[in-house]
Structure 1
């Protein structure tokens, strides 16, 4: 009978109500909400205490028929929704019924959860926790979760499960899987997913406001090395089988190599990459220069230039130490290549009226051209003087076109002019030491 009576109770039904909850705030709102003591006392320990004989005001007239609750304006609606929820929770299911609208968004559920904690309503707390644990959140809501939920207590811990850090083995596992996919050659429809994997891998190992998600140990470094090696295997295959049909494959694998270099730089593992690129440079330049002059070839030149820029920067600034002949070879191979590539790229990039998309694809950031210039100057100035003279003579014969080697020319002139005096002084000092 009690269960049937309880089931027949309706929130706000004055005809069957035996108690009023008077909800007030400092802004002057004052609502009389008609409720049922059986519902309130069974589902809220706060109301159970207020309506018990133990409460200090139990002897005051009407105290058993009117309970005053004072709240903030920001929590006012949450209190009303909580009272409504007391009528629907606890019917054999801890979840809020699917057709119920009181927890229709995260903000509302969080507000009700806080009130339920204050008024000691465990069933409503459970209902809100179940709701919040299951629904998606916006990024701003995640911050609110982290602020509010820990204050609720251990019963709300499941809500934050999705935000908890995972153990290092799980991070390593997902990194390895993502890395293998990021260095694979999937069908074109999956390329966007591959690009996302590459982006997230870089994010995982980058130190910004937060520490890197992954610290590269020897196992991780070996995995990275193997994946980069597999990229180079595909790269070599493309060079052997290059044609108009597989130009797209060559462009994609060079693009992947450009990304891989970024990863290796962050992990301080670029040496093997640089050495491999240097050894492959002669064949690569011949293959690309032999390709037909079409838009796709310009795109390949763009990608090759981007990777070469990273490699010569590592050589020019001493990140990777190579013998003199290797450094000289890089200058003699790539200086003419980039000199020929820049006007082609500039022309393709300015031809956007005919094909805007192509213009974008064929564009190189001005900083890359500048970085190439600076790197070539650094490499040249570290070569023997006679090799510098040969390179600068060839550059001047081209009327000083890109890349601008003016700085190298000026330094060479100064060094050459003062060389005899410098070395003479050095020799004199040595002679003086011998005489003493």
Structure 2
């Protein structure tokens, strides 16, 4: 194989000049004869160099239906000039098949060409798995392909993630002609990179990444507050757009923050500004408008109530009571209004869907039952004073409160009687 010959002087499957025959047989026993040239095969393949002798003018090649076409393409490629070989590969799957055949016959020229082609073209996930299988035993010659799929340096990964977080939490106008698609894509990829699955732990959720997320959260929250306050001064379409975009970004962050243990940052801030939000959206200037804003605010509040109500975020009893007393009247007022609007206008699409309603109701019940008994009583008393109470349904919380109250009184009496029998004093005073 040391002697270089010009294969283009010969033609593929040319019986007039061939000096040997390849007998291709597939798994069904179908036979096809290829008229070949020993000098071409020996020059490019160690396998054929060892097989070919003056006494052997025929070589049997067994292949399956799957790789039969790849064998044919491989033998045809042996006759192509070097400068056109790279452009001859039709697609990734074809190049993978030919690479496997070339590897079996130790044909370095074709192996190298297939690798250069595969390194330069895009693959899908399934093709990548096939490529890895095909090059797994090739050694250094496969490095151009392996360089594309080897793990990225951890610092580089973190740099990409931080840049994506900055872009995803940016307040800039969408870039034409992509609109908000680039930002949405960045948000989706951040979720993917930080998602914990069965095989890969959370990627780079270190202090630097958390700091960047906190900065983005603070920036978006401040923008939301500022623009929401301006709606009452001089409302316009641009401000409305910024407010709704801020809420959309905050909603996305609500899905991200639990993965990096930062949900409390959002919940605490939302609790602090709840009075301001409710006061603004209930202002007479917005009395019969901005329905999308009013629904979106409740969707975010549902996230907060769920986080606190189910114990994922721990707040003080006073903060939890304040959260409930701020939002419960608003939710109780807004739900029938939205239902009325929807019934009057079939095109009215700002309403609370069933999942949102059930989520809020369940979270409120859980939140009430985790409060001190007196605070539970105050909230339930106010709830029952309302006429035509329909939503949220707090009857479950009321039933449990009644049972617990009776049980507490029974324990109190039992403790008192036990104290009398033991001639002891109770550790508390009965009023």
User: Shorter-normalised TM-score: what interval?
Assistant: 0.7 to 0.9
Structure 1 residues 265 and 168, CA gap change in structure 2 (3 angstroms)? same
1:266 paired with 2:255, answer no
* Pair 1:257–1:432, CA change in 2 (3 A): farther
State whether residues 86 and 114 of structure 2, in contact with CA within 8 Å, keep that contact through their aligned partners in structure 1. no
Query: Matches of residues 3-402 of structure 1 in structure 2 within 5 Å?
Result: 6-52=7-53, 58=54, 60=55, 63=56, 65-89=57-81, 91=82, 93=83, 96-98=85-87, 100=88, 103-188=89-174, 189-212=178-201, 214-242=203-231, 243-245=235-237, 246-290=239-283, 291-293=285-287, 297-346=290-339, 354=347, 359=349, 362-396=350-384, 397-402=386-391
CA, structure 1 residues 353+167, in 2 after alignment: closer, same or farther (shift >3 Å)? same
Give 2:428's aligned residue: none
1:424 is matched with 413
Secondary structure at the counterpart of residue 179 of structure 2? helix
Task: Quote the Cα distance in structure 2 between the aligned partners of 1:417 and 1:222.
Answer: 48
Kindly indicate whether the alpha-carbon contact (under 8 Å) linking 1:395 and 1:401 is maintained by their aligned counterparts in 2.
no
Name the CA distance, whole Å, in 1 between partners of 2:143 and 2:371. 64
Cα distance in 2 for partners of 1:14, 1:351 equals 85
CA-to-aligned-CA distance 1:248-279 (integer Å, 9 cap, x gap):
21111112112112211111222222111111
Q: Which residue of 2 aligns with 1:55?
A: none
> 1:413–1:29: structure 2 CA closer, same or farther, 3 Å change rule?
same
User: In the superposition, relative to structure 1, how do residues 198 and 426 fare at CA in structure 2: closer, same or farther (>3 Å)?
Assistant: farther
Q: Secondary structure at the match of 2:205?
A: coil
User: Structure 2 vs 1, CA of residues 377 and 5 (structure 1 numbering), >3 Å: closer, same or farther?
Assistant: closer
* More moved, 182-191 vs 345-354: 345-354
Cα offset for 1:183? 0.8
Q: Would the aligned equivalents of 1:239 and 1:287 in 2 still touch at CA under 8 Å? A: yes
| CA shift for structure 1 position 394 | 2.6
**Aligned with 1:404: secondary structure?**
coil
Q: CA deviation at 1:418?
A: 4.5
Residues matched between the structures, number: 414
Shift of 1:349: 6.1
SS of aligned partner of 2:85: coil
- Contact kept? 1:44, 1:119, Cα under 8 Å: yes
> After the TM superposition, which of the residue ranges 298-307 and 152-161 deviates more from structure 2?
152-161
CA separation of 1:196/1:330 partners in 2, compared to 1, >3 Å: closer, same or farther?
same
Q: Distance in 1 between matches of 2:243 and 2:304?
A: 18
* 8 Å contact from structure 1 (residues 150, 157) kept in 2: no
- Where structure 1 has 5 or more consecutive residues not aligned to the other structure, the ranges are 53-57
Structure 2, unpaired ranges of 5+: 426-431
| 1:118 CA drift (Å) | 0.9
Deviation readout 1:143-162 (Å, 9 max, x if unpaired): 32233331444422422433
* 8 Å contact kept, 1:145–1:160: no
**Native 8 Å contact 1:41 1:51 kept in 2:** yes
- How far did residue 110 of structure 1 move? 1.1
CA contact (8 A) 2:99 2:134 kept: no
Q: Distance in 1 between matches of 2:328 and 2:94?
A: 64
Match of 1:409 among 390, 398, 409: 398
Q: TM-score, normalised by structure 2?
A: 0.87
1:6 deviates by: 4.2
3-state SS in 1 of match to 2:286: coil
Q: For structure 1, which segment, 130-139 or 342-351, has the greater mean C-alpha deviation from structure 2 after superposition?
A: 342-351
Q: 1:421 to 1:22 in 2, by over 3 A?
A: closer
* 1:319-347, Cα deviation, whole Å (9 max, x unpaired): 33333322221111101211233234445
**Comparing 18-27 with 401-410, which one deviates more in the overlay?**
18-27
Q: CA deviation at 1:38?
A: 2.1
Q: Secondary structure at the match of 1:96?
A: helix
